[in-house]
Structure formats: structure tokens, C-alpha cells
Amino acid sequence: MGMLNIVLFLTAFLISFYSFAASINDAKILVVPKGVNMTFWQSVQAGAIAASKEKSQKVIWRGPYNETDIEAQISIVRNYLDSNIEVLIIAPIDAHLLVPFVLQYQRKGKKVIVFDSALIGPDTASFVATDNFAAGTQLVETLHPHFPDKAEVLIVQNAAGHASTEDRVAGFVAYLKKNGVNKLHFIEGGVTKGSALHATRLALAENENINVILTPNETTTEGAALAIKKLKRNNVLMGGFDINSVIYSHLQHGVIHSLVLQDPYKMGYTAVEQGVKLLANETPSKEIFMPIVIINRQSLTEIGNYEFIRQFLVEPSPAH
């Protein structure tokens, strides 16, 4: 009995998901994020809900609990293959592993929209995301005037397979090398703030010359900032991506110098909006890049910035 309970628990954990809106019988759009436990995805969800209500088109939201669970994301996609869903909107955890399942949807005549992170291969109806390479470049360009004379840079990477964060890291590296910054260190930060904290702490403890840190998403940013704080490495200049209440506090206290903020609410809204166009036999935009905002401690008080940031500081209430 004990072993059975363990198996059932693990199975439930692998395919755990959070849903809103309609049942499978009256919705024609399925939105599958990378995860549901991060502030970023909760803001995406809020935008998707808003578009669903405004366009009077019911939407199903299904996602793994966190961004590590590629098995759960694949299970969700497969579970709806033979349903009434006509449009799949997906943020792939892995740019390659989701391809066969997306192709199955397309072979059945269903439409596919990819958002947030690229899928390598299939020709999908629309792509809605941040221009991640450009955003990575812009972050380093913003930080560069504040670099120490002998810059030694630690790049805390997200888990492999996430095209969005890999493109941001590529943007970091391209700018750094173009500007003669060649002392670069790369570590795997994983996909949780705890794993990013552990990896960054080890790297800082082993190399006292590291004086710049760059991070490509919410979990690596939060974990790396906490490592800087715990080790009291006040000489480290840090730039990262995304924000939540903890990251906001690190920015206020100077642990983080600059952040790239995406607009996940608009991303979720726009993706569903394009899906509704497909249902109406209209042609969606093939590629839509979301605007970014780069903020620092000084710009927090600028008109409009705080209002924009507020959506990330209070977690949206679960929708049922």
C-alpha cells in the first residue's frame, strides 16, 4: 500500500496542472504555459483570462506546476489531441522535445501558436514573445558603463532547452565579446531559485574575482541575488530578467543594479487574441515581439514604472 501511494503521488505530481475557464466541451483554445508557480506565468494567465473574456471565447489553461516538468507538459498536450480544441497556444519547455506533438496537432488540421519561447522546426501560425536576443544585448549595454575596470562576468544559465533564456544568454555573450570583455564564466542555475542560489554561491565562493553577474529569467535572478546578499559581495554588479516581490526588494536595496522587465500580461492577452483570429478564419500576425522595459533603483519612481511593476508584486488570485 505504501508503494502504491508513492506511485500515485509521483504520477499526480508529474501531471499536476492548474486550470481556468471552460471545460473541454465548450472551449476551442488550449493555452499551455511552461509552468504556473512563477509570478511571470501568473501574469501571463491574467492576460489570457482578460482576452478570453473580452473576446467572448472560452479558453482552457493547463500547465505543469514548474518549468522542470517537460513530461507533464507533453502529457497535457497529448491529452487534448483528440478533443474539440482547434487552437493550441504553447510556451515550449524544450524547443525540440515538443515538436513531434505539435506536428500531430497540425496533421489533424489544428492551428498552433507558440509564445514566450521558440519551437525549432514547425511552421506555426504565430509567434508571440520578447525579442530575447535583443533584450539580452540591451541589458548588458545598460550595465556596461558601470562595469569595473577588470570585469570578470558570471552568467547563471537557466536549464538547457529553453530557447528564450538561451537566446538572452547569446545576447549577453555577443555584446560582451564585441566590447572586449572576455573573462566569462558559465554555470547551470537550474530552474528553481534554490538551485540558482546554490550554484551562484559556490561560484562566488570559489572565485573572488567575479564582479559582474548576469541572469536570464526570474528564478536565476532571484537565486543569484540572494547568493550575493548572503555572501555580502557588495562589489558585484548584477543585471537580470523579470521581477517579483523578492527581486523588487533586492533592486531597492542595491543588490541588483538593472532588470529587464517583459510584459507577460500583454503576452498572454496577445497570444489568445491571435488564437481568436484563427477561429474566425482571419490571418494572425506571423511574429509579434513584446516591448521590454529596463529599470534600476533610480527609475522605480518614474511616472508609469511603478504602475507597471505592481502587477508582479501581488500574485493574482487563482481563477476557477
- pLDDT value for 301: 78
CA 182 centroid distance within chain = 27
Q: pLDDT averaged over consecutive 10-residue blocks of the chain (320 residues)?
A: 42 40 72 94 96 97 94 97 97 96 97 97 97 98 97 95 95 98 96 95 97 97 98 97 95 96 96 98 97 92 82 55
126 three-class SS: strand
**Per-residue cell: 144:** 556596461
| Distance of alpha carbon 21 from alpha carbon 85, whole angstroms | 14
Give the up-direction half-sphere exposure of residue 125: CA atoms within 13 A in the CB hemisphere. 26
- Please give, one letter per residue, the 3-state secondary structure of 175-223: HHHHCCCCCEEEEECCCCHHHHHHHHHHHHHHCCCCCEEECCCHHHHHH
CATH 3.40.50.2300 domain position(s) in the chain: 2-130+263-289, 132-261
Q: Given CATH 3.40.50.2300, say whether it is the number of domain 2-130+263-289.
A: yes
**Per-residue cell: 290:** 513584446
| Distance of alpha carbon 48 from alpha carbon 270, whole angstroms | 8
- pLDDT value for 221: 98
Q: What is the CATH number of domain 132-261?
A: 3.40.50.2300
- pLDDT value for 103: 97
| Distance of alpha carbon 95 from alpha carbon 99, whole angstroms | 7
CA angle 122, 130, 268 (to 5 degrees): 80
